[in-house]
Chains A and B, each alone.
Chain A
Amino acid sequence: MSGMARQHVYREIMACLRPGMVMLAIFTVIFGVGYSLSMAALIDNGFAAQTEGSLLRDASGRVIASTVTATTVGKPEYFQGGTRLDPTISLDAALAQVSRIAAQRHMSAFRLRELIDRSTRNSTYNTTRGLYVNLLELNLRLDGKLE
């Protein structure tokens, strides 16, 4: 490349520095700070029901469990079904186990249906899914660890 062309390229690059740095700075503020914080705020507050629900806290706010990893598999006195990463069962599946649990724990079916009711959710977008029950929440409620 000739000397003049090289100088030209050099000048062009230098001319990019100010817009480049300003844009990096501005967009770091807009996207890095503004966007990130406002999305975090929106999601944490506006959609708390969907996003906070998976970590359960006791009365003092301490996290006691993740609702998504169930540890009561195979024990007949707990509700069964669901998998590690999708620990939900249909409402019907839960109701079908009521009589077994009632017998195991000597609890009334009415009380069990109450607990099931509290642990039941509806899907946000999937209109064909129907009501579903979060298994770990329900089992924690059975043990009295969650109100």
Chain B
Amino acid sequence: MFPPYGSYGLVQMLVQWVLLSLCIVPLGRHMARLYQDKPTVLTPFLLPLERRICALAGVDAQKGMDWKTYALAALTFSAMGFILLYVLLVTQAAHPLNPGHLPGLSPAAAFNVTAGFITNTHMLLGASPGAMTTLSQAAGLTVQNFLSAAVGMSAFAAIARGITQRDRSTLGNFWLDVVRSCLYVLLPLSMAYAGAVATSGIAEVVQAHLWANPSGNGVLPDAGSVNLLVTHTGALLNANAVQFDDTASLTLRVLSFMSLVLIPAALSYAYGIIAKDWRQGAFVLAIVAVLTLPALVSRITDPLAIFTTAFAGGYAVVLYGLIAALVITPLFQSLSRSAVGARRLIRFDIVMAAVALLTPCLVAGACVGLMRYVDRHAFDAAGTTILYSALSLVLLFGRFWVMIPALAIAGSLSSRPS
């Protein structure tokens, strides 16, 4: 029924859905407290570090941002990360710790990989993992794994606050949100994830693959460096983790599922808490689930699966869900009283919502059509590069085209008292 589940089938499905349900409650609660400036379980340990980082960066944690400032900060920070990673990849030949003397990536390949990581989709488009030096991986890819996730989560926090909170006229501080997302959520989660993945046999599978296909490095990376990537390790082998499904243990498959789905699902749950309305949280969660489903049930080579994996990985699905919830909420409220109260949507809001909601559909359709076309016609190397570049642009577009209108709506709502 579901091809990627292979021999574990129903057991895997049961385990991962149960595990997910168990995890999103504490994580969602933690996130809701974090993004509403309330103390969390980790605050006593991390607050000094958070303050130190903000001080070094010249960030005034009390200073809120309106939506334009927030959006600009998010874009600028993403652009800076993009430039840094791009330069790192292109200059690989000059890296220290490069025993295999791997050359720099071509500009196109570097662009595609960078776009993949800046949008939090972890796709090594058109480049093989053997082409990455240790430095690229550690200082470049791993760092962007975290930061791009943090940017997505911060956007969510700002939008959630803008939609739900009446007593403040700003969306919060982007830099503070990024620091908090990294320290309080991503770092602890990744440490747990890396430990779990490392001990469940992934090292053996990856080492076997590398032994059979020696990378340009000339040395077999030890398991520690292999497991540095935060999300599904399939990305290391230039494929989704689904590739491992024929061979991976149950633990690995469940972990790779969680790595894709946990944060978006927990964010949806957190929204329900922030909005003080579980039905809205459930609605967002339902949208996220529906949009992520193709990624989970199709073979990874299916273009729709690729796109939805990317859409989900970029957390754009959550923002999408938020906007949809926002549009649907007046309907809810006309049926019963809700804690958020009635929100009048002006034409600006509607236009922004339409832009954000409809455009990704068009883009997804174009993307799927493009890839199905490619499947039927063999492409040479140049054609493939062009295709991957087009896909990279699609990924970038899909992320920011949803984020910015969503922030606009949040800003518009927060600047009007009722």
Contact = CB atoms under 8 A, between A and B. Distances in A.
A50 B59 contact: no
A110 interface: no
Interface stretch (B28-36, B246-254, B373-381): B246-254
Contact of A19 (B58, B145, B204): B58
A52 B199 CA distance: 11
Interface stretch (B74-82, B311-319, B326-334, B395-403): B74-82
Residue of B58, B182, B203 ringed by the most chain A CB atoms within 10 A: B203
Given A23-B175, A40-B225, A85-B247, A51 B190 contact: no
Given A39-B194, A66-B208, A69-B211, A20 B76 contact: yes
Interface in A116-139: 123-126
A124 B178 CA distance: 35
Interface stretch (B136-144, B260-268, B344-352, B408-416): B136-144
Interface string B150-183: 0000000000000000000000000100110010
A43 B208 contact: no
Interface string A44-65: 1001001111110000000100
A147 interface: no
A9 B72 contact: yes
Interface stretch (B216-224, B272-280, B362-370): B216-224
Q: Is the interface of A mostly helix, strand, loop or mixed?
A: helix
Contacts of B207: 54-55, 66, 68
Contacts of B142: 31-32, 35-36
A24 interface: yes
Interface stretch (A10-18, A72-80, A100-108): A10-18
A42 interface: yes
A44 B204 contact: no
B171 to A, nearest CB: 14
A22 interface: yes
B29 to A, nearest CB: 25
Contacts of A30: 182, 187
What is the size category of the interface that chain B forms with chain A? 35 or more
Nearest to B186: A31
Interface string B59-81: 10000000011001100110011
Interface in B372-398: none
B84 interface: yes
B208 A39 contact: no
Nearest to B68: A12
A69 B204 contact: no
B198 interface: yes
Contacts of A85: 205, 208-209, 246-247
A84 interface: yes
Contact of A12 (B69, B146, B211, B220): B69
Contact of B194 (A27, A43, A53): A43
A17 B220 CA distance: 39
Contacts of A51: 198-199, 203, 222-224
Nearest to A22: B57
A138 to B, nearest CB: 15
A125 B200 contact: yes
Interface residues of A, number: 47
B250 A126 contact: yes
B53 interface: yes
Given A39-B224, A68-B204, A32 B57 contact: no
Nearest to A39: B194
A67 B204 CA distance: 8
A125 B72 contact: no
B147 A27 contact: yes
Given A32-B138, A33-B139, A86-B247, A53 B225 contact: no
Given A27-B182, A124-B201, A44 B190 contact: no
Nearest to B71: A12
B205 A18 contact: no
A44 B224 contact: yes
A102 B223 CA distance: 36
Residue of B142, B182, B201, B246 ringed by the most chain A CB atoms within 10 A: B201
A139 B212 CA distance: 19
A40 B204 contact: no
Contacts of B58: 18-19, 22
A12 B71 CA distance: 11
Q: Which 8 A-B pairs have the closest CB atoms?
A: A40-B224, A68-B208, A51-B223, A32-B139, A22-B57, A54-B204, A16-B76, A19-B57
Given A13-B72, A43-B198, A85-B205, 4 more contacts: A39-B228, A51-B199, A68-B208, A126-B250
Interface of A: 9, 12-13, 16-24, 26-28, 30-33, 35-36, 39-44, 47, 50-55, 63, 66-69, 83-86, 123-126
Interface of B: 53, 56-59, 68-69, 72-73, 76-77, 80-81, 84, 138-140, 142-143, 145-147, 175, 178-179, 182, 187, 190-191, 194-195, 198-201, 203-205, 207-209, 211-212, 220, 222-225, 227-228, 246-247, 249-251
9 contacts: A13-B72, A17-B76, A32-B139, A40-B228, A42-B224, A55-B211, A66-B207, A69-B211, A125-B251
